[in-house]
Amino acid sequence: MKNIILFVIFIIIVGCSENRLTKDMPVERKMEIGNEYFEKEKYHKAIPYFTDIAFERNSAYTAEAQLKLADCYFNQNKFMEARFEYEELIRLFHDHKEVGKAFFQIGVCYFNESLNPHYTQEETESAISAFETFVEKFPFDEKKKEAIDYIQECHYKLLKKKYYNGYAYYKLSDYSAALMYFDEITELGNIDEIDKMSLYYSTRIYITRKDKENAVSMAGRLTERYPGSKEANKINTLIKKLD
Q: How far apart are CA 21 and CA 112, in angstroms?
A: 37
Pick from 101, 44, 39: nearest CA to 72? 44
Q: How far apart are CA 210 and CA 218, in angstroms?
A: 13
For the stretch 122-180, pLDDT in tens is 999 999 999 999 999 999 999 999 999 999 999 999 999 999 999 999 999 999 999 99
Counting the structural domains of the chain, the total is 3
Contact between residue 35 and residue 68 where contact means Cβ atoms under 8 Å apart: yes
Compute CA distances 167 → 3, 24, 178, 179, 194, whole Å: 66, 62, 6, 9, 11
Q: How far apart are CA 210 and CA 175, in angstroms?
A: 13
Same domain membership, residue 149 and residue 183: no
Residue 182 has, within 13 A of its CA and on its CB side, a CA count of: 25
Residue 86 located in a structural domain: no
Same domain membership, residue 103 and residue 152: yes
Q: What is the DSSP string of 12-80?
A: HHHHHHHHHHHHHS-HHHHHHHHHHHHHTT-HHHHHHHHHHHHHH-SSTTHHHHHHHHHHHHHHTT-HH
For the stretch 82-99, pLDDT in tens is 999 999 999 999 999 999
Residue 122 located in a structural domain: yes
Residue 77 located in a structural domain: no
Same domain membership, residue 165 and residue 215: no
For the stretch 196-221, pLDDT in tens is 999 999 999 999 999 999 999 999 99
Same domain membership, residue 68 and residue 15: yes
| The pLDDT of residue 107 is above 60 | yes
Same domain membership, residue 222 and residue 158: no
Residue 84 located in a structural domain: no
pLDDT band at 5 (very low <50, low <70, confident <90, very high): very low
For the stretch 21-34, pLDDT in tens is 356 789 999 999 99
pLDDT band at 12 (very low <50, low <70, confident <90, very high): very low
| The pLDDT of residue 119 is above 60 | yes
CATH number of the CATH domain containing 213: 1.25.40
Same domain membership, residue 243 and residue 177: yes
> In the prediction, which pLDDT does 77 show?
98
Please give the residue range of the domain that contains residue 117.
98-172
User: If you ran DSSP here, which 8-state letter would residue 116 be given?
Assistant: P
Same domain membership, residue 165 and residue 104: yes
Residue 121, SS3 per DSSP = coil
| The pLDDT of residue 2 is above 70 | no
Mean pLDDT of 3-20: 44
Q: 165: Cβ–Cβ under 8 A, 6 or more apart, which residues?
A: 181
Mean pLDDT of 24-45: 95
> In the prediction, which pLDDT does 243 show?
66
Contact between residue 103 and residue 137 where contact means Cβ atoms under 8 Å apart: yes
For the stretch 50-80, pLDDT in tens is 999 999 877 899 999 999 999 999 999 999 9
Q: Which of 38, 72, 106 is the last residue of a domain?
A: 72
Q: 167: Cβ–Cβ under 8 A, 6 or more apart, which residues?
A: 178, 197, 201
Burial class (CB in 10 A: 0-12, 13-18, 19+), 35: middle
Residue 236, SS3 per DSSP = helix
